[in-house]
Amino acid sequence: MKKKIVAMLLIACMSISAAACGKSEEPKEKVKTEAQKETKEKKEYQKIGVESAEAFDVLVKNSVGADITGITVKTTAQTEYPANMMKSGEVWKNGDMVELFYTPDTSAAPAAETDKAINVGYSVQLTLADGRVIELTSFGFEDIKKEAELCFEDEVGFVKYVSKASGDEMSTKEQEINVKAQKEAQAAAEAEAAQAAAEAQAAAEAQAAAE
């Protein structure tokens, strides 16, 4: 009888141990998965700009088809682009994602004449490794959910991103094409006006010489 009781106790202990082992394995796997997830979320990217509490913080992918050696941003209130945000010798490889920090220069903003908020726009100028310069006239820092992609097609640079406001996928390509067309039309009109002024000046000088 005693042997039977001992055997039953041994079987019970073995069952409890097996159950305990089974339970201990699951949390380990869960912890491992959570750790991997956390590591992935905390992936380090090349940083451009100065990190601060006031700065926009956006992940930006270079998909323009060439390495980038310079990037600078200005607001609509600024007439010229400030200094290059990238360090000397620094390269932003084509296909790579960087973490871009940008703090707007509010000193150039005009004083508000009304109580209405002034909508600030941002333009981005890129300098490529081959010397080309690309301008994006509309970079909506406030509306970019987290990530943006810089692209270059049909001779224009543009940005693609998911809108924080609407959740829709956005692209500024059509807008940049329109801006390019407007600039070309303006340049053509200015050249035509300059040509007409030169011809008028030449005609006036010829008439004065004839007299």
> How confident is the model at residue 110, as a pLDDT?
53
Using left for φ > 0, alpha for ψ between -120 and 50, and beta otherwise, residue 192 falls in alpha
Contact 130/78 with Cβ under 8 angstroms?
no
Q: Which residues contact 68 (CB under 8 A, 6 or more apart)?
A: 62, 86, 91, 92, 94, 126, 127, 128, 129
Give the pLDDT score at 11: 57
* DSSP 8-class letter at 42: T
Distance CA 142, CA 58 (A): 10
Q: Give 143's contacts (C-beta < 8 A, 6+ positions apart).
A: 161, 163, 164, 165, 170
pTM, rounded to two decimals: 0.69
Distance CA 139, CA 157 (A): 11
Reading the chain (211 residues) residue by residue, the pLDDT tens digits are: 555 555 565 555 555 555 544 444 545 555 555 555 554 455 789 999 999 999 999 999 999 999 999 999 999 899 999 999 999 999 999 999 999 999 988 775 554 444 444 568 999 999 999 999 999 999 999 999 999 999 999 999 999 999 999 999 999 999 999 999 988 898 888 888 988 888 888 888 888 888 7
